[in-house]
């Protein structure tokens, strides 16, 4: 292990690493991410980064919380980016740690563009997105030869917090599997639009809460009933919404629930 880590690139003072922490399970962190945690002078982290990952930092690393949660007081994106620039200019090794992947609905592109504009050296370390890892832990393949050869990833809200202005008709008609990030607030509107543009009311839907963590919960429903079932459950974000026939494979492939319960085999 040490031999592998010794070959990784140096974390230079005055630079920023934009690192994806993965969907929640600390074991899904990449080696690059692990090494960045060990070397960083300052860690600026998001709301969805768990304590078990934060505990991997060096003893002298300074932790700064910069979490953004819908409907709650949050730091502005410009303030976060300006803080990264200021820390780098102080000669710090700055780790910007984000849940999932920095470039998948994580505003990593915005931060990287600002760093580039201010001539701050940076490196991007991909992470396992919840839309990939979360589905795997829920027993739902993202693709399967008998169900789909295409997938659409959507954010459940735009920059203003409203339902995104995307081509719902063509998504409904053209994408066999739809994975929606941060869509719980608007799940009723989203499912209504998909049904309105021709998706079957009985099409299976899974809602995955706190994916890949010990608190993971999965609700399996239909487009018609998903919003009601989520409200009845009382479960809260973070959550992923998955629409498509691949959801029907969950009873056969739900390894994580069995593993968590100590059940051998599938």
Q: Rounded to an integer, what distance in angstroms lies between the CA atom of residue 48 and that of residue 223?
A: 27
Q: Rounded to an integer, what distance in angstroms lies between the CA atom of residue 79 and that of residue 226?
A: 37
Which residues lie closer than 8 Å to 219 by C-beta, 6 or more apart?
Answer: 206, 207, 209, 226, 229, 230, 233, 235
Residue 240: burial class (beta carbons within 10 Å; 0-12, 13-18, 19+): buried
**pLDDT band per the 50, 70, 90 thresholds, residue 261:** confident
The tokens for 150 are: 């295409």
Respond yes or no: is residue 46 known to be catalytic: yes
The active-site residue, picked from 25, 93, 114, 182, is 182
Q: Which residues are paired to 240 by β-bridges?
A: 181, 208
Q: Rounded to an integer, what distance in angstroms lies between the CA atom of residue 128 and that of residue 246?
A: 20
The active-site residue, picked from 25, 46, 92, 114, is 46
How would you write 178-221 as a 3-class SS string?
EEEECCHHHHHHHHHHHHHCCCCCCCEEEEEECCCCCCCEEEEE
User: Quick one: which H or E segment has residue 152?
Assistant: strand 152-155
Q: Rounded to an integer, what distance in angstroms lies between the CA atom of residue 255 and that of residue 260?
A: 9
Respond yes or no: is residue 182 known to be catalytic: yes
The tokens for 85 are: 């620039």
The active-site residue, picked from 68, 185, 229, 254, is 68
Residue 264 pLDDT more than 70? no
User: How many Cβ atoms from other residues are within 10 Å of residue 52's Cβ?
Assistant: 14
Q: Rounded to an integer, what distance in angstroms lies between the CA atom of residue 206 and that of residue 186?
A: 15
**pLDDT band per the 50, 70, 90 thresholds, residue 72:** low
User: How many Cβ atoms from other residues are within 10 Å of residue 251's Cβ?
Assistant: 9
Report the predicted TM-score, pTM, of the whole model to 2 decimal places.
0.92
Respond yes or no: is residue 7 known to be catalytic: no
Write out pLDDT tens, residues 172-200: 999 999 999 999 999 999 999 999 999 99
């Amino acid at each position: 292990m040490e031999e592998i880590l010794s070959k990784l690139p140096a974390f230079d003072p005055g630079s920023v690493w934009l690192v994806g922490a993965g969907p929640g399970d600390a074991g899904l962190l990449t080696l690059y991410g692990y090494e960045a945690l060990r070397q960083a002078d300052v860690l600026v982290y998001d709301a969805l980064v768990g304590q078990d990952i934060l505990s991997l930092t060096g003893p002298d690393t300074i932790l700064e919380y910069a979490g953004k949660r819908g409907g709650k007081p949050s730091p502005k994106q410009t303030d976060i980016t300006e803080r990264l620039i200021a820390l780098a200019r102080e000669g710090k090794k700055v780790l910007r740690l984000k849940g999932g992947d920095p470039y998948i609905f994580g505003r990593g592109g915005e931060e990287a563009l600002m760093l580039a504009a201010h001539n701050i050296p940076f490196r991007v370390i991909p992470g396992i997105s919840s839309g990939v890892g979360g589905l795997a832990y829920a027993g739902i393949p993202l693709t399967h030869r008998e169900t789909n050869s295409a997938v659409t990833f959507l954010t459940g809200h735009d920059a203003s917090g409203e339902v995104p202005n995307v081509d719902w008709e063509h998504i409904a008609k053209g994408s066999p599997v739809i994975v929606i990030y941060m869509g719980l607030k608007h799940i009723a509107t989203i499912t209504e639009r998909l049904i309105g543009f021709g998706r079957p009311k009985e099409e299976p839907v899974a809602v995955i809460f706190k994916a890949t963590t010990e608190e993971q919960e999965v609700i399996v429903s239909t487009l018609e009933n998903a919003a009601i079932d989520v409200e009845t459950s009382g479960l809260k974000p973070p959550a992923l919404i998955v629409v498509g026939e691949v959801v029907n494979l969950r009873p056969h492939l739900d390894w994580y629930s069995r593993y968590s319960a100590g059940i051998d085999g599938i």
